[in-house]
Amino acid sequence: MIQYILKRILTSIPVLLGILIVTFIIARVIPGDPCRAILGEKATVEVCERFAEIHGLNKPIYEQLFIYIGEILRGDFGDSIRLSMPVTRLLVERLPTTIELSLAALLVSMLFGIPLGIISAVKHNSWLDVLTMVWANIGVSMPVFWLGLMLVYVFSLLLKDTPFWLPPSGRISPGLSNPPFYEVWGLQLVKDSFILSFLNFFSRMNILNSILSFNWKVLRDAVEHLILPALALGTIPMALIARMTRSAMLDVLGQDYIRTARAKGLGWRGVILKHAFSNALLPLVTVIGLSLGGLLGGAVLTETVFGLSGLGRTLYEAITARDYVIVQTFTVVIAAFYVIINLIVDISYAYLDPRVRLN
């Protein structure tokens, strides 16, 4: 197993390198000048030449690429052109928001998608099955930005004076304080910069931080702020998971061992949960893994609609401002998440299916 993991990691290096090169080239050949995008259309030619010289944009593309790869190998991802701050600092500040949102959206999609898929398979060709699949097709078809605006309109405007009101934007309400958990634990005197950055990264996840610091008021408020964006972002994977669960369950329910279990007198609930669902997990795990990767990369519109300063919104702003450094680094980070998630999915196969372990 260790040999397999090392082999997958080594084979993923050329993939990430290829993504970096393609992103690097595309970011520079698309129309648009970072000088004009950041300093404005009235920037003079002399100012733009000086701007390009400061940021190394006046060199040939291949030379810029070699310099950038060399900096990455030294652990330096560069500074943002627009914000004039290290990209690694931006990652520490913005990535926790996207991870928190993506995990919440995945949780929502699994909590609703898996039961609906099981019910649809058990009630195959019934009105409940048809209704579930129609809903799944609608869920796949709804744009995230439209659904987000509709959720805001319903839960933040129409239900404003009801107990069902939910906040339309932000992560916590103004005036609430959510101090880092390591300060609550008395670890604020940690001197090691790496450990401090590691703790600071996780403390920026409001829900996790409020749980670790026992701040239940902030926990409730953070969950309320996360419901609408998680619903908006999780609708498409919810529909995909429901359809895949239904398909996998229908394949399993027609197997001989299911009929044998029923013939032995095992209850229908036990057959579904113990025999059918456990054997339908392999394709479902693949969809869930790919959905998580897609959520991390597809949070751009959701974070923009709900005013969340995460990876997606920062990437969108960097693209509009032609901030090449952010675009390159964030794209590679998202690609690395895809590689890691796919590796975890492949490893999980060995624990879910004994035949994989034998092979």
Joined together, the tokens standing for residue 188 give: 């604020």
- DSSP annotation of 298: S
Instruction: List Cβ<8 Å contacts ≥24 apart for 336-342.
Output: 336/16, 337/293, 337/296, 337/297, 338/293, 338/296, 338/297, 339/12, 339/15, 339/16, 341/289, 341/290, 341/292, 341/293, 342/289, 342/290, 342/293
- Check residue 287 and give its pLDDT: 86
Closest listed residue to residue 47, CA positions, set 31, 35, 60: 35
Whether pLDDT at 323 is above 70: yes
pLDDT for 93: 85
pLDDT mean across residues, the chain: 82
Question: What would the pLDDT profile of 93-124 be if each residue is shown by its tens digit?
Answer: 888 888 899 899 999 999 998 888 888 888 88
Q: What is the mean pLDDT of residues 229-251?
A: 88
- Specify the pLDDT at position 353: 66
Q: How many CA atoms lie within 13 A of 132 on its CB side?
A: 27
The closest of 202, 209, 223, 200 to 177, measured between CA atoms, is 209
pLDDT for res 55: 76
Q: How confident is the model at residue 227 (pLDDT cuts 50, 70, 90)?
A: very high
CATH class of 87-178+215-358: mainly alpha
Q: How far apart are CA 244 and CA 116, in angstroms?
A: 11
Task: Give me the mean pLDDT over the 221-242 stretch.
Answer: 90
User: Is residue 357's pLDDT more than 60?
Assistant: no
Whole-angstrom Cα distance, residue 184 to residue 191?
16
Query: Above 70 in pLDDT, residue 273?
Result: yes
Do residues 120 and 331 lie in contact, with contact meaning Cβ atoms separated by under 8 Å? no
Q: What is the pLDDT of residue 291?
A: 84
Q: Where are the domains positioned within the chain?
A: 87-178+215-358
Q: What confidence category does residue 6 fall into, taking pLDDT thresholds of 50, 70 and 90? A: confident
Specify whether the CB–CB gap between 318 and 330 falls below 8 A: yes
Say if residue 342's pLDDT is above 60.
Answer: yes
What's the length of the chain?
A: 359
DSSP 176: -
Task: Work out the end-to-end distance of the chain between its first and last CA atoms, rounded to an integer number of angstroms.
Answer: 11
pLDDT the model gives residue 107: 92
Which residue from 86, 93, 97 is spatially nearest to 304, judged by alpha carbons?
97
If residue 257 lies in a helix (H) or strand (E), which one and from where to where?
helix 256-263
pLDDT one-digit tens code per residue, 126-176: 888 888 888 888 877 888 888 888 999 999 888 888 888 998 888 888 888
User: Distance between CA 108 and CA 237 in Å, rounded?
Assistant: 9
**What confidence score (pLDDT) does residue 191 get?**
63
Confidence (pLDDT) at 356 = 60
Rounded distance between C-alpha atoms, residue 288 and residue 17, angstroms = 26
| Stretch 33-50: mean pLDDT | 77
Residue 189 pLDDT greater than 70, yes or no: no
> pLDDT-derived band of residue 190, with 50, 70 and 90 as boundaries?
low
pLDDT at 355: 62
Predicted confidence (pLDDT) at residue 18 exceeds the cutoff of 70: yes
Residue 16 has pLDDT above 60, yes or no: yes
Token reading at 75: 């652990």
The model's confidence at residue 77, banded by pLDDT at 50, 70 and 90, is confident
> What H or E segment, with its residue span, contains residue 182?
helix 181-184
Q: Give the alpha-carbon dihedral of 263, 264, 270, 272, to 10 degrees.
A: -30
Structure tokens, 283:
């394709």
What is residue 9's predicted lDDT score, i.e. its pLDDT?
A: 77
- Whole-angstrom CA distances from 194 to 55, 92, 150, 199, 200 are 27, 12, 42, 9, 10
Beta strands in 197-241 (DSSP E): none
Q: What is the pLDDT of residue 188?
A: 64
Residues near 86 by Cβ (< 8 Å), separated by ≥ 6? Answer: 77, 78, 79, 80
% the chain with pLDDT above 90: 7
